[in-house]
Structure 1
């Protein structure tokens, strides 16, 4: 998946040191000429690592730059992502630019969100909508016939590069996508989660790849493309996701849209949890009590939200609100609501919007503990302990599958 923030300290190797030094130099550059010099150096180093599948070095360099120079982290992450999700390919004397696309569907439900093969008519509908509403003239497209969950997506730059290469040849040649899709990992059942359709879009090098890059009269603004995309895909996606509410985001570059979908799903996770508890236990939102705590080792990497019946200390359900990009939170501001853009303010707003009035915020940083038996993340209770969320004994043993 997209790199948001890396975890843990890793031993620095010569390759890591070179990447870090070049990224810091690029971040400090004062001219485009110098920018290009450092970019070419980083491109060459990162491409060697991608080809050799050496993800550990990339992760270690990102970890170090994140800790010491956030601007260097941004430029290093941007170049690594660009090389993983795009490429140039020559075919029969023509050079093509290829971009890996993610088409996010941010869904929530009281039941279960499917992840499965895409029917032929769904692939055809998606291709038609892409060509008519998103892609520039003279582009070519290859769509993976699978509705991906986040668990099934490539989890590194190296894996993403492999997928980009596989789809690039299919897009340019017009042949079927040849990927092994029979052994997809199982999807963790959650009430709010993004789904993705993945594709590669190719254009002759130097030509526009999206409609909003073209000149008039072919040019179409992003907002117009988004509305058209949502209208065209509403019914086809609804047939794939029965019992689900969803929002369609604009098809865009892979890493950008992975992050955007992750952020969009966070408040929906809270609303879906409230709806589920009302459906399963008959507890109205006003009858719920929530405890919010920041979790991480040296800094907050996520917030965990516990749900209890008002007046009860027993945690019934938990939701994770992960932090991305530059959403770092100072240790003395973990429960500070004064900043409207702070994660804790957004969490509390989402809870209040869902009808939950009783919200307790911890000021401490919890260790990111998990259950030794089942691996479930432990959630904060009001007393400051991280505990296992347990539904009452008379609650439904599992979420019904509505599909």
Structure 2
């Protein structure tokens, strides 16, 4: 802190005080208000706090909070790490994260997709992790092609090292202007937003769904798994490959993940995290044990109890996220679904019609949340029987004692977390 100018020191101190008061009064975790106060007093505070640190920025539509947590856990092997662990992923949250660990030589910051160009320019981060792009909050986030274009322009001319998922064509196109790229074959199960070439608009030839990262060999994983029919744009050659339960590093060594976090999506997140750790000079042998200690991320996958029910909390914000949430649910268990449409969720709920809720047939389904009627109509059309409840408490009472899966979108998820003391 002594290296900061006096004004920046004062802004940081007052921001920390505001964050502490926010937590003490139960108004929130302080991740945003502290940064806002700091930036009001010194608009250049983020740049000053980022100086002299080695930073990684993590951005995606899905999985960025978890991947940020995994990378931060790995880099703790090297020293103290500043990170926005609770998902406050805009500049105010970044200021709070860096100010809270003022002497940390490393930083891992989750960044909202729209803010990535601004944050990269401000912080001068050395590493940028780009994982996926799919439609999300269309009423305020715009078309994902526009986001990919902004990423592409932001990386052009910068010295940043991009760690990018080569299985997502939009990410591959966005990252291709970076000065240096490490390509990770992390898979892409949701493909409904990437059937056209972002370079020329022509059709992309794609393999059958489910063939990437699920039991494929090294030779097939290294091939061009997608390509444009009308121009030269094609899948880059991967340096890292997710192969089922293992990750293959650039030397061809296989590393079994053995994560405590469930599902294919988290194995993809871990593959990205290992590649980022390697960019910091940390080998998989040292990074993997750290990744295996992560059991919950800002409430995701947390298990809580109420009235004899053991509830596992899962977050799903958009069609791609619901696909991954269904992947980790237990088909033998009842499931509670909760959907809101507040500003952080996006007001438009038309995305519900892109989710295949038919996978829930045959299990007890309970629906709640502010937009429960929207979800109820979607389930009715899909032929999925359900019970409608006015509140989360009523929904919990509607299922029998025992284990239950709970899937909620962003603000619904945060409301549920608040009922259990924001379990992490």
Q: Normalising TM by the smaller chain, what interval? A: under 0.3
TM-score, length-normalised on structure 2? Answer: 0.26
Q: Which of the two has higher C-alpha Rg?
A: 1
